[in-house]
Structure formats: C-alpha cells, structure tokens
Amino acid sequence: MRVLLVKNDFFDLSLENVEIVQNVDEADVVWFHGIFDPHIVQRVLGHRHAVFYGEAAAEVSKIIEQNDVVESFELVMSKDPWDKRGFQSYKYHPIFESLHGGFYTYLVLDKDTSEKVFCYRGKKARIVAVEKRYISVIRENALIWEYELDSKKILCIGGYLNFKSSHIQYNIHEAKQFVKNILEYMLSGSKKPALYWPSCSNETKLDRGLEFTKFRIKPLKDFETFELLVHEGFGEDYANLCGRRILANLKENGEFDEVWVHPFRIVKSISFKIDEKKISEQKIFHRIYPDRVIHETENFKLTSFVSLEKPIFMIQLDFKDGKTQELEVDFNIDSRIMWPFDEAFNCGKSFNICDETGEVVFQTSDGMLKAFIKMNVPTQTRWSNDENSLTFTMSTNVDDSVSICLGGFLEQEQVPYEVDFTAELIEYSSFLKNYLNTTLQLETNDELFDRMFQLAKIGTIKFLTSVPGIGEGLMAGYANSKPGWFSARPGYAWYFGRDSEWVSMALLDIGDWETVKKNLQLLMKYQRIDGKIFHELTSSGVVHFDASDSTPLFLLVFHRYVNHSGDVEFLREDWKNVVKAFEFCLSSDRNNDGLIENTIEGHGWIEGGKLYGSDAELYLNAIWLSALEGTIELAELMNDSEVKRKAEEALQRTKRAIGRFYDERTGLYILGIKHNGGRLNHFTVMTAVAVYLGAIGFEDAKRQVIPYASNDFSTDWGVRIISKSSGIFNPNGYHEGTVWPLFTGWVSLAEFKAGSTHSGFNHLLCNLLSARHFAKGYISEVYHGEVYKPSGICPHQAWSESMAIQPLVEGLLGFEANFLNRKILLSPQIPWNMNELRVKNLKVATASAELSFKRIRTDENHFQEVYQTEVPEGYRMDFSVWVPKQAENIDVLLNGQRVDFEVLEGVFNKKLRLKEENCSELNVIVSYTLPFELAAVQPDPSPFCPSSTFRLVSLTKDESDYRLLLEASSKDEALEELSKIFKVHRGFTFDVFEEAPRKNTFCVLVKRNER
C-alpha cells in the first residue's frame, strides 16, 4: 500500500507494510494529519481515497458541504478519576476490526493541554463513530464521519489521535491497529456491510404489516415438580426468574417488574386485575422455588417461570372457584436497549395488534429485536403511549385458566413453532436437579446448612447467560434498573471480567468446569490486542478495560481450570492468549520493582472513596504472585522456556516486593503504595486475599486474620471492608464501610488458611444464611455496615453466591485439585458445630473422590474423628486434618497403622499433616482428649437491626493454661453466650475477666486443676 502523508509534527507512527510516497499521483491513500493543503486537496478529492484528521477534517467538510458543519471544543481534563476518550461505532465498521467496535485512544492525565477536538454536525456525511468516554457513549459528538466522492472514500477524524500527545501513549497498540484498519478499509473496503450511526428518533408507530407469531401455546399441566422450597409466606421483597436468555424481575406481593431479553428490556412492568381489582393490592401468599414463583389467594394461583434456553417468560393463571372472572393485564413496554446506548439507538419501534386473537407484536425499527405478547385465549387489546413507552391492555373473561406468554428474539434467533409450558418447566427443573446431583454434593447433620449450600449453587449458575452475537459467560448481578445513571442497567446484568473470574473459582471447586470454560472463551474473545482482559462487556456489545485485576485473575483461573479439568488441549489451543495476558501484566510493572500497578491500568479493587489512590495494591499483587506460580507450571507443560524464565524472574521480584506492604508498627499488611512512594496505611479486607493466596507466610497470616474476628470488622451478616476504628468508616460507603459477602468470603478463606476455624465458619455462615432474608434464596451484593439491610444495587449478586461456596469447599473441606501433579489435597477443618459430613463429587478431570467424616465422643473428654476417602486410580492423596487447638494426647491411625504427623498451630485449630499416600483408600482415625469444648458462634441477624456483640477472637496457650479472647457487651452477656458453645471438662476450671484497657474485650482463662 502506498500512502502520502501530509502531516504536522504530531503524526509520528511507523506503518507496517506501507510505502510512504512523496506525491499524489503515486498514492493509493492520502492522509492529511492536521495539515490542510488546498492545492493537494484539490488534486485528491474524487481522485484518491483520503483521510483527514483534526482541523483538516473540518476544512474538507466545509468544502464538500459548502457550509460550516463542524464544531470544536477544547480538550479539558475531567474531574472523574478515569478520564478516557475514544471512539464508538454503530454495531459494526471495519475500521474497528480487533477493537471490539470501539476503544479509548486517550487516557487524559495532564491538565495542561491545548488540543482541539472537532465534532461533525452536518447532514451529508455518514457517521462512523461517536465519542466514547469512561463507561458512557456521547452520541451527539460525532468524531468520525465519511463521505464518498466519485467512488473514492473520504474519512474524517475529529480528534483523539495525536501521536505526540502524552494521552495516547498508554493505548498505542490499539491506535496502531486503528490506523492499520483505516488504511486497509480505504483501499479494500469491507468484507461485510459497514454500518453507520443513524439519524433517527425514538418514535413509536402502528404498523399493520407486522406479522404475528405462528406458534401455539400448550398450557401448564401437572408434572413432577422440583420441591426445593426457597420461601413461602407474605411479603414484598424482590424475586427473579432467569434463564440463559432472559431475566424477569418480580416481587413477592404479585408485582411484576422488568423483563429483559438480553440486551433489551422488553417489558417495564406487568399489572394484573381480576374483576377490576389489582392482585398486588390483595393479600398474596407466595411460594418461591428455584424454577418458578407462585402467587396465590383463595381465588387463584399464578405460576410464573422462564425458559432455560429460550427468551420466553410464561405465566399460568388458574382460578379455583369455577366462576367466570374478568381478567385485565397491562403490559408497559419500551424495547429499550441496554446501557450505554440511548433510547434512540434502534430508531424507535413499531407494533401491531391482532384483531382476532389480541396478540401483540412489536419490534425495533432496525429489526434487531422482535417481541410478542400473547395468550392462549382471545383477548380484547387496546393500547396507549407516552413519550418513551407503550401500554397494552389485554382483557378477557376466564372461568378456569389462562396461559400468558411473552418474549423476544434477536435477528439471529429462531422463533419456536410451539411453546409447551409443561415441557419448558420440566426442562428447567431437570437442569437444576441434574446440576445439584453432578456437582459437589454435601450432607451434614445440619439440614439448613445443606439446603443453603444447594441454593448457593443454584443462585450462582443462574448467572450463566448467552447473548447472540456476543457469546456465553457469567453475568454479575440482577436487579431492576433505576432512574438516572442506572437507567437501562438491570443491576449488573452484563459480563464482568473480575467478577466472573472470582465466581469461576467456586465453580471449579464444585466441578463445573464446563461453565468456566465458556467464560474463559468469552474473556479471550474480547481480549484487548495487547493482552488485557476486559472489566466490563455490556450485553449491548460495548467493552471497557478499566480494571487492573481482570488480567492476572485470568491467568490464575486458567491455571486452576487446567488443574481441575485436566483440559490440556484447551490450554494448547489458547496458549497464545495466556501468553499475551502474561506479557501485558509484565508490562504494567513500569518501574520494574516487582509490583504491577494500578495508576494506568485501572482499579484493582477500590474504585473510589477515601481508600482510593494506590499505585500498587497488595490485593492486586497477591493475585499476580499466585498467577505467576501457575504460569510457571503451565509454561513448563507447554515447553515454553522463555515464558517460564520470565515468570520465574518476575516471581522472585514480586516475592521480595510484597514485603513493602508490611507495617512494622502494627505487624499488619497495608492496603497499598502511592505513586510518590507514600503508603496507604489502612488495614482492610484486601489483606485477606493475600493470606488466602499464600502471599503472606503462615505465622504472619495468623496475625492478619485475628482483627477480622472482632466487632471492629465483623457483624452478624459479614465483614466490613475497613474497621469502625479506622477514622474513615462510613457504614453506607460503598468502599468505606459496607459489608460485602465477597469480602466476607475472602476473610473466611483467609481464616481457614490460618486455622481460625471458628471465625472462618462463622463468616461462611454469614454468607450462606443471608439468603434467608430480603431476596429469598439469593445473596445480596452489599449490606449496610451497622444495620442488617441491603445497601447496594443488586439483591442477587454472582460473587456473593459463589462466596457461600468457595470458603466451604476450599476452607472447611480443604479441597484442592492438582491434575498437573496427579494429586488431590484434602485438609478438612470441621468446626465443633458439625458432627457428621459426607461429600461426593470431589472432581479432578475424569476422576472423582468422596469424603465422609464423623466425630464420636468415646468418654466425657475423649473423642474420635473418623475420616474415610477413596483415592482415584492414578492419583496420590495429600491428606491432613485440623483438630481443636486444645486437643491433647493425640493419636492417629491410618488404615489401621499408627502414624507420625507434623503439627501446625493455627489460631483456633491445629493442623495434623500426614505424609502423602499412594494407597487406594484412606481410613483415618484421630483420637484426642479435650480440656474444654468450643463451638463456633452461629450468626442469626434480624433484618433492619444492629449486630450483636459476642465474638470469639483468638485462642492461645500459655504453658498449661488456655486463654480464649472474646468480645461481648458485658461480662453477663459473655457468660450467657459462652454457655451455648463452651463446656469445660473435669480437671479444669475457668474464669472470665475483662481484658483491660480494651472495652468489651474479655479473657476466658482455662486452668488445669492442681493435684
């Protein structure tokens, strides 16, 4: 390709496979970069393909349109933390190949700038791209526009492509790809049709030419139901029904809110009237199951459910008295595409109503969505509209039952020939039953515990969704959208990099690597050309790369995926993506100090507030450390000596650098290090991630987790991000004091890692049991830091659900899959609250193990713990057990033989490590005596109430005496609560006294009686 560059001094980009020529006649493409030379332009227009940038774009547009059609504004740095600027196309344009339809060219870090940006306001050009800002699209700012003169393309770019600017240096890889794409397009055109931003409004019109659906409805009939009851009663809390393609939000009281067929909201609300009385105003009894929701009165039963695979929502209304009832249903619809696009993105909508059946069909004017509402009985249907939405009112008389079906299909989808309500519900129910049976199964002596674990698995897998044209992966959270910034955002119902990666760890733990593989494929499909993994991918197809942790987490999860699944072929196929991600992470350690950075790459966890501002976070670099260890193993498997060498060198640098986060004054690890070398000396839950991932040694780890057990951090519903005594605590602050089940899960994992069994189990229960309240069966995104109530966006959050699974499997069971070394690791840490346990489907590749446990009292203070497990053929078992820290006279039998063991003293329990065994089964009997028994505190918070204060903090031994540190509001409360979980045996006495000078802190001193 031969290119003539007419440029000023701010075009400095080497062009591969491009020959730079010196005159117009030799050029295939002429590029005017800021410089407008009228003599050359005159020779180019209509004779050569040409690109005009900046002021040159404004000038050539004036010539073509004989008018000033371009406006300019000064580039001024925003006050927002991430001032990113770039371009967003309309669905598809070839100049954005490999750039996912849009990208940022600028990261504005310098307040002193003199650049101008030019926006097109004319009528003759086609708009290729508008302005893309941080998580927003500014449609009115047309930045790239295109003319065609005598079959020659004229492409105009208004700004954000100054190659001498400091703003562009961090996106230079994408900018180079962009220029390459432009030149190829100018010369060769497009293999598929290029699309342009339309000039249209969000108007609604009746179109009598729209075809109606041809499928028939088969009503719901009796069938064998899925009887895992989530909740029943009266209430008004949020509930939902979600399939791979659809999300229906509703309430316990019979209100029906938004229905989303990703990426469209097809319905804003549904309202039922029976004999002119709204059902939501009646006293509605609800029963919630994982596959359906039932609303019921003495007169009727309303059963709602969605298809597992199809974008269809079904409602069956059954009347009980046999009398004829007048039914009226209002459907308020707007066909709104998801954020960040506006209401007019699809150029409005059209609709039609069938005079014979009352069926309603509606579609976006661009044909992207076709939707319908129909019943299995004829209805009288009328309509009304306001500025942005339509309301269809469907009326009919019913004496027994009516089936209502609504949904929507994208261009790529096929409408079924039949919707069989019974078959659809059976398919959904069967999937859930099979999922529970084929993933890790757990049975204990606590039925509630077992049931809540099942609900956590179901609540997690419901986030696996599919969007035609985008792919299949894990979304982050479900809710109704809200006015303002959250308009057209159904909670967090789109794809998040880091969210899905944390969730993937739990899914691997229970053996669901098929879902994890799908999610990894989605992450790689939208991987940035420099290897970075996205932070957000909207269901409407817009990608953001605003987080620094998504990429090292991708490496960590990929390694775990291989170790769990044994899918080495998948690794071979996608090794290049893994290497690109690894190289990207390496490049983000810009000063080569061993710590990858946040300043340019984005937030690692903290997105704003008083904890924001780290250049390098402990959280981020703990993940990086673990990712490096995994990458070394994978590189060795792939015989990639260069990647292995680089990873080993980086690992040593990072191990040394982690110590920079240590605070010698407190003995704790801090949040982060600033760009200027200063320190963010806050101790937060982020340190728990470093403990969990092994970035902090065991003795130090014990010191880190003890503060989490106190009231300063803990509530009855979980752990705050920062302590109440920190000086910046805000109980409603998103990143300054709220309780996230995610944080609680991190802390639980860290506590189990450090042998703080009682606190680890307590915090695991906080997550598991919170599904009893608010959105029943689901775990919320965020809770208030002082009062037990939701404080976030989503009543149903993916990583909240997964953090009721991961601490259970990796912490309580101590399960770790290691396919690469053909090894299974088990180190059960069973709290005193649990006497029996049986686990199935501990999966590694094609192998599966089981574990059974029973604790038996053989005398007043003599106990036996019996463990049995079979070792799959071809695997070794690394088996350890945790026993109470106060256990004495310990004896271990392995397959009938007394064996030696190593002891590791944790905070509340101690680990007995046995040597690895190659035998086909392990029968382990651990015998010991106890001076006292101590169970974990089981949380039981009351909604909208403050937390209780009784907490177990730590247990230490001083010669023959034991010191149990706890917190309570008074000595009386301490004694009362202790009586429920604490029992001293003969030969020992105890006393409780206040631990001065700390208020509400008590010590239980257990002493051996003198003989």
Q: What is the mean pLDDT of the chain?
A: 94
Residues 753 and 837 in one domain: no
- Assess whether pLDDT exceeds 80 at residue 517: yes
CA angle 793, 86, 535 (to 5 degrees): 35
Q: Under a CB-based contact definition with an 8 Å cutoff, are residues 694 and 624 in contact?
A: no
Please tell me the predicted confidence (pLDDT) of residue 676.
85
In a domain, 639, yes or no: yes
779's torsion region: left (phi>0), alpha (psi -120 to 50) or beta? beta
Structural contact between residues 5 and 20, judged by C-beta atoms closer than 8 angstroms: yes
Q: Give 830's Cβ-side CA count (13 Å radius).
A: 24
How far is residue 791's CA from residue 471's CA, in Å, rounded to a whole number? 31
Indicate whether 749 belongs to any domain: yes
Q: Which residues contact 229 (CB under 8 A, 6 or more apart)?
A: 287, 288, 289
pLDDT per position as a tens digit, 742-785 = 999 999 999 999 999 999 999 999 999 999 999 999 999 999 99
On whether both 250 and 176 belong to a single domain, the answer is no
Instruction: Please report where in the chains the tokens 């903290």 appear, as a residue.
Output: 606
Question: Whose CA is closest to 306, among 477, 462, 476?
Answer: 462
Say if residues 832 and 936 touch (Cβ distance below 8 Å). yes
Name the pLDDT band for 183 (thresholds 50, 70, 90). very high
**660 and 800 inside one domain:** yes
Residue 1011 has pLDDT above 60, yes or no: no
Check if the beta carbon of residue 908 is closer than 8 Å to that of residue 755.
yes
Tell me the pLDDT tens digit for each residue of 698-748.
999 999 999 999 999 999 999 999 999 999 999 999 899 999 999 999 999
Weakest mean pLDDT among 18-22, 109-113, 469-473, 771-775: 109-113
Residue 429 inside a domain? The answer is no
Q: Which among 757, 780, 811 is the end of a domain?
A: 811
pLDDT of 270 above 90: yes
DSSP-derived 3-state class of residue 206: strand
The CATH number for 359's domain is 2.70.98.40
Residue 11 has pLDDT above 80, yes or no: no
User: What is the per-residue pLDDT for 661?
Assistant: 97
∠ CA 102-107-113, rounded to 5°: 125
Cα dihedral 977, 979, 980, 983 sign: positive
704 in any annotated domain: yes
Lowest-pLDDT range, 222-226, 461-465, 761-765, 878-882? 222-226
Give residue 413's identity as a one-letter amino acid code: E
Instruction: Note whether residue 963 is domain-resident.
Output: yes
For the chain, helix, strand, coil in percent to 5 are: 25, 35, 40
Q: What does the pLDDT read at residue 13?
A: 59
| Angle, alpha carbons 787-788-794 (nearest 5°) | 120
- Same-domain pairing of 730 and 771: yes
Are residues 372 and 498 both part of a single domain?
Answer: no
pLDDT mean over 501-522: 98
Residue 571: alpha-carbon gap to chain centroid: 23
Count of helices and strands (H, E) across the chain = 18, 64
CA distance 602 to 964: 43
Rounded Cα–Cα distance for residues 38 and 40 (Å): 6
Distance between CA atoms of residues 127 and 199, nearest Å? 9
- Give the per-residue pLDDT at 250: 96
Output the pLDDT for position 891. Answer: 97
Same domain, 151 and 8: yes
> Are residue 616 and residue 515 in the same domain, yes or no?
yes
What is the Cα–Cα distance from 665 to 60, expressed in whole angstroms? 65
AA identity, residue 300: F
Q: Are residues 166 and 298 in the same domain?
A: no
Q: Which domain holds residue 851?
A: 815-934
Look at residue 9 and tell me whether its pLDDT is greater than 90. Answer: no
Does 939 fall in a domain?
no
Phi-psi region of 641 (alpha: psi -120 to 50; beta: other; left: phi over 0): alpha
CB burial string 867-876: b at 16+ within 10 A, e below: bebebbeebb
Residue ranges of alpha helices (H) inside 588-715 are 618-637, 641-658, 686-692, 698-705
- Percent pLDDT > 90 in the chain is 84
Average pLDDT over residues 59-74: 95
Structural element, H or E, at residue 155 = strand 152-157
Are residues 792 and 719 both part of a single domain? yes
Residue 883 in domain: yes
d(CA 194, CA 96): 10
Q: Where does the pLDDT of residue 419 fall: very low under 50, low under 70, confident under 90, or very high at 90 and above?
A: very high
From residue 68, alpha-carbon distances to 38, 52, 57, 60, 63 in Å are 17, 16, 11, 10, 9
CATH number of the domain bearing residue 781:
1.50.10.10
**Of the residues 756, 788, 811, the one at which a domain ends:** 811
Between CA 145 and CA 156 the distance in angstroms is 5
Q: Quick one: 93 and 240 in the same domain?
A: no
Domain end point (choices 759, 780, 811): 811
CATH number at residue 909: 2.60.420.10
Same domain, 184 and 284: no
Average pLDDT over residues 810-816: 98
Q: How far is CA 503 from the centre of its chain?
A: 7
Three-class secondary structure of residue 932 per DSSP = strand
The number of domains in the chain is 5
The SS3 of residue 721 is coil
The whole-number pLDDT of residue 578 equals 98
For residue range 883-923, what is the model confidence (pLDDT) as tens digits? Answer: 999 999 999 999 999 999 999 999 999 999 998 767 788 99
Q: Is it the case that residue 12 has pLDDT exceeding 80?
A: no
Hey, which of 168-172, 237-241, 673-677 has the most confident mean pLDDT? 237-241
Query: What pLDDT shows up at residue 444?
Result: 97
Q: What is the CATH number of the domain that holds 163?
A: 3.40.50.880
Pair 979, 866 in one domain: no
Residue 428 lies in a domain: no
Q: Cα(20)–Cα(955) distance, rounded to whole angstroms?
A: 75
